[in-house]
Homo-oligomer: A and B are copies of this chain.
């Protein structure tokens, strides 16, 4: 399937707002790929498809997890929206013909992050956070930082996410902590 075919298919399953977000993530991922030396086509596809499962709701989420052997723990049970990454990776493979494991992995971990993220994982993760449609206090600083210090921009986005979760009083996915710890450890002076 060409990227244009993927776009058409995706547009049919997402709200226009989320489709625009997906295009924004794709464009941002391409810009970052050029700076950091990632393959531009891989970044395009991963960025475009990262939310392909985002609008699956309710019981269907858990049915897909059962069908595709995706682990549902007590955190994702209470926050099923966290499962759209792993489900999205399966759909990208089965419905969009993506075979590249690196692209599928970046889609899989884009919501929580994970320990020892690959370059493409990092690009998709931060592109989702800073794409042009995102508006929240501090986004401009993180956006600017992403183009000169990818790791640092991810730590800041993770810090912000963790603070947001603390304020909401909900569960923190351990992968988010492992993602942050790993980058801090790797970039420690």
- Name A residues whose Cβ lies closer than 8 Å to a Cβ of B: 74-75, 78, 155, 159, 162-163, 166, 169-172, 174, 177-178, 180-181, 184-185, 188
Contact = CB atoms under 8 A, between A and B. Distances in A.
13 contacts: A74-B181, A75-B181, A78-B185, A78-B188, A155-B169, A162-B162, A163-B166, A170-B184, A171-B184, A172-B180, A172-B181, A174-B178, A177-B177
> In the assembly, how many copies of this chain are there?
2
Contacts of A177: 172, 174, 177
A115 to B, nearest CB: 10
A60 B153 CA distance: 37
A109 to B, nearest CB: 17
A169 B187 CA distance: 12
A159 B172 CA distance: 11
Contacts of A169: 155, 184
Nearest to A176: B177
Contacts of A171: 180-181, 184-185
Given A162-B166, A169-B184, A171-B180, 9 more contacts: A78-B185, A155-B169, A159-B166, A171-B185, A172-B177, A172-B181, A174-B177, A174-B181, A177-B177
